[in-house]
Amino acid sequence: MANTVLQQVSVRAMNVDALNCDAVYASANLANGSVFTRGALSSTAGEGELFTVVQPASGSLTNLWMVYSPEVVDIVTATGATYRGLSVDPRDFTNIATKPLAAFKPEVGDLIKITADGITGGALSALTVGQHAVAANGVFTLSASVAVISGLSFAVRSITDSITIANAACGTSKVAAALLECVAVA
């Protein structure tokens, strides 16, 4: 699975608790930046505060949420031992299936940066400034679109931005990213 890096530039959920939730997806790992429909509260014992993740589907591309968990990397050895935080590179991070993940609800006006892996096809070149990145049927990633849809839509403001990330050499590097502005949620 590709590991998307998502940066909240200016997001209402940073200041409004009701726009944040914890969820769980049992079927597969999910990268940050994945969009989903928030389902019912989990029926698994001990998970009463976790919502279930439902893959976006035609006719229900509104009121979507976006995965955005703290990027603490778990490294699992061949013997099953788990070590946390050994890698500072957020590209090594993914939300593990059946484990809780954090999410926020995008609102009109929110600004985010997202790396290529968060776009269907895995290429920023699929996006065009002035066009859109939108939720799509049956996929967790955003898809390129000429127009706003009746659902979660981001205007592409730049495809030449970057996100500065830490690397193992105690330095930083820049990773190409698109700057997106939320223009529709319903």
| Residue 129 confidence (pLDDT) | 95
| Residue 173 confidence (pLDDT) | 79
What is the pTM for the complete model shown? 0.85
| Residue 70 confidence (pLDDT) | 66
| Residue 16 confidence (pLDDT) | 96
| Residue 170 confidence (pLDDT) | 66
| Residue 163 confidence (pLDDT) | 84
| Residue 65 confidence (pLDDT) | 97
Classify residue 68 by burial, with Cβ atoms within 10 Å: 0-12, 13-18, 19+. buried
Residues of the chain with pLDDT below 70 are 1-2, 70-77, 82-93, 167-171
| Residue 83 confidence (pLDDT) | 66
| Residue 135 confidence (pLDDT) | 96
